Amino acid sequence: MKVFNDPLEFRDHNLKVRESGRQIGLFATLGAVHRGHLSLVDRARAENDYVVSSVFVNPLMFNGGTEEADAYPYDPTGDLEKLEGKGVDAVLVPSREAVYPPGYVTRVTVPDLEGRYEAARMPNMLSGISTICTKLFQLCVPHRWYFGEKDAQQLALVKQVSKDLNWPTEIVPCPSIREEDGLPFSSRNKLMSPEERALAGCVVDAIRAAKALYDTGERGADALAAAAARAVEVTAAKLDYAALVDRNSFQDLTEATDDALLVVAADLGRLRVLDNHRLSRPLPPEVAARAN
């Protein structure tokens, strides 16, 4: 696996790969690589000739900037070992100064998605993501770019940016990979105490509750969201939001269409946890099997 620290060297390398006629698949990460991330690498490996990745804790997306980014839990050496073990061909591991040199001021924003749901809690998040993704696109120009459905608002954002800026890249959504208790894999999971981990399951229960009501024929967004909210509110967790949104635009819905996505987030006190599910689909086995 080739490791690049210089973004421009990474760009030149990828240009040569494209010129050779090989198809490039990209998966970008903040680090703290886990099984959910590696499932995206597997998908990219199966569908492309060449797989590239990046490990970069992006300070633009954090409310606290570089200080909060410094606290992000990741292991650069371990992350690279995991990516190499999965067959990644090249990875960019740049310094912050290489990505955002002194005097850098440009931001890419999508106003229709700002200030809502995760972006309400982290005001810098979406512009930080759209900015780094635009830079990564310029450095790689992948044929396919893989994103997990767990981060649903991020996925909607990147699809919009790709469409608006005419990227010649297929944005490939990939299903959430879940742990045995139904919770989607996340870097924050490893930070949870046993008590927090048990409490975090409330978002999985929220999905089960809304899905059960949906399966009886209920299509009203308010009723479905209320069922999800109750599953969180009966626990010690604090409900952040439970809502039905269009999975592509992330706009609120009044009733559950085929594209309706239930999004749920809860505050555990020290940590937050979030989950989502497209109600028209069957429950993932780990969610369906979860005990009450």
> Nearest-CA neighbor of 230 among 204, 201, 211, 209?
209
Centre a 10 Å sphere on the Cβ of residue 285 and count the other Cβ atoms it contains: 10
Alpha-carbon distance 47 to 276, whole Å?
26
Q: Which of 13, 37, 143, 277 is catalytic?
A: 37
Residue 81: Cβ within 10 Å count: 13
77 CB neighbour count, 10 Å cutoff = 7
CB atoms inside a 10 Å sphere around CB 254 = 10
Contacts of 232 (CB under 8 A, 6+ apart): 202, 203, 205, 206, 238, 239, 242, 264, 266
Q: What phi and psi, each to the nearest 5 degrees, are found at residue 143?
A: -75, -35
Q: What does the alpha-carbon distance between residue 118 and residue 186 come to, in Å, rounded to a whole number?
A: 15
DSSP state of 80: H
- Residue 143 annotated to the active site: no
Residue whose pair of structure tokens reads 């046993």 in the numeric block: 194
Known catalytic residues are: 37
